[in-house]
A and B are shown apart, each in its own frame.
Chain A
Amino acid sequence: MQALQSTLIQLVQGLKFTIGIFFFTLIFSIPLGLLVSKGRMSKIRIVSVIFQLYISILRGTPLMLQLLLVYFGPYYIFGVNLGSIQIGPFNYRFIATIIAFTLNYAAYFAEIFRGGIQSMSKGQYEAATVLGFSRMQTYFKIILPQVVKRVLPSVSNEIITLVKDTSLAQVLSVTEMFTKASAAASAQVSVIPFIVAGAFYYAMNLIVETILNRVEKSMSYYS
């Protein structure tokens, strides 16, 4: 009983990092993904190729490897020691984690957004143009709201995956929930901490799912 209690306390301590990684990644990777999708769709060939390469590499290599590269790369490749960097309450381990997750998820989001944007009919742009809307107005008033509706199911998939992927931060010894669960499991020689951690991840995703379903429903007034 006491073991379970201490497990819970440790996991909840880790939870704040898990949630931190989750939210910071979403906040940064969605706008970055939008920019990357724009770059990928650029009419300037070289720009398009660069972003294509970016997407290809970030999607084609393990996130765990990207985490390690972002964290150790600056020192081993450039001899720059960033280990002592601290922004507010966040140390470089955490910052490196957010950077790697953001770069990785932006690549996935970019392709989802590209699919959504390219599925818009030319007629929507043309109608907006002849009505006198500027390019910015057309994008933010006409195109983006419709794209959001179209990409939401795919974006939901990514968001749910992200909740689980936060556990990869373990490789950088970020004390998120999975790291805590592993430590507790070996200390107690028990799988209970893993089962409890699993329950936490599932509970988080239930919440995420509920919210996303609501958002989807709120946009179902048109087709």
Chain B
Amino acid sequence: MPDTEKDIVLEITDVHKSFGDLEVLKGISAKVGRGEVVAVIGPSGGGKSTLLRCATTLERVDSGRIVIGGDVLCENGSYCDKKLEKEIRSKFGLVFQNFNLFPHFSVKRNITEALIHVHKKSREEADDICKHLLEKMDLVEKADAYPCNLSGGQQQRVSIARALATNPEIIFFDEPTSALDPELTKGVLTVIKELAKEKMTMVIVTHEMSFARDVADRIVFMDGGVIVEEGSAYDLVTNPRQERTKAFLAGY
């Protein structure tokens, strides 16, 4: 476990978020240390995805504080300036449930476009990074293919490569296997396990309970807009303390 502030990659403090009258996040606080893998589990509508979207700047929180990689994204609900926000965005990657690859770009361009046009890397440099990542994802021969010609599992691995390309400090996964057939989830989960071995900092919203138990260091159980229980992955799955956690896990 990290003990100095410097090793905290993501820090969320008392975050509240409402959509109209519906309060979706009712004061969430959490910390993720460097190299840690945290799985977020819980029933649908419990606020998991909203939390992830708030942490990745896709939703604005109403109040609370979010710090990513030492930069304060928001404090008491008011956000930093656009320039810093852009900088913060380069510190994390996000893998979507339904991939959201750019269909008109080849696999290679999906991965290199932001490197070249946002991070101002040379094309050669970007191509190198891309090649290296595709090797890791076992997709080297697909570099020039278009997303529509790939299986769901392959598309998701491309989107993981895209998220990794900018060398982020933390990667968020929003139910990365929920849109995939069971047989296709395996390749994606294997890739995430590999990343965990390399000490990549990750936050994974998932319904794959055995995967969460095996790959995560910690599990956070969310329901009704609050964190009901959190603890080491193995303990939480095998020996939950809260009734709500027990009821939820009994369903798996």
Contact = CB atoms under 8 A, between A and B. Distances in A.
Interface residues of A, number: 20
Contacts of B96: 123, 126-127
A127 B58 contact: no
Overall SS of chain A's interface: helix
A210 B146 CA distance: 26
Interface stretch (A29-37, A61-69, A128-136): A128-136
B100 A126 contact: yes
Contacts of A137: 117-118
Interface in B43-84: 56-58
Given A123-B96, A222-B146, A222-B148, A130 B104 contact: no
Nearest to A133: B118
Interface residues of B, number: 26
Contacts of A141: 113, 117
Contacts of B92: 130
Interface string B15-49: 00000000000000000000000000000000000
Contact of A146 (B57, B58, B104, B118): B104
Interface string B128-165: 00000000000000000011100000000000001000
B102 interface: yes
B102 A221 contact: no
Interface centre among A127, A141, A142, A146, by most B CB within 10 Å? A127
A85 B117 CA distance: 46
A157 interface: no
15 contacts: A121-B100, A123-B96, A124-B102, A127-B96, A127-B100, A129-B58, A130-B57, A130-B89, A131-B113, A131-B114, A132-B90, A132-B118, A146-B103, A222-B103, A222-B104
Nearest first, the 4 A-B pairs at minimum CB distance are A123-B100, A127-B100, A132-B118, A131-B114
Given A129-B57, A132-B114, 6 more contacts: A128-B102, A131-B162, A132-B86, A132-B89, A141-B113, A223-B103
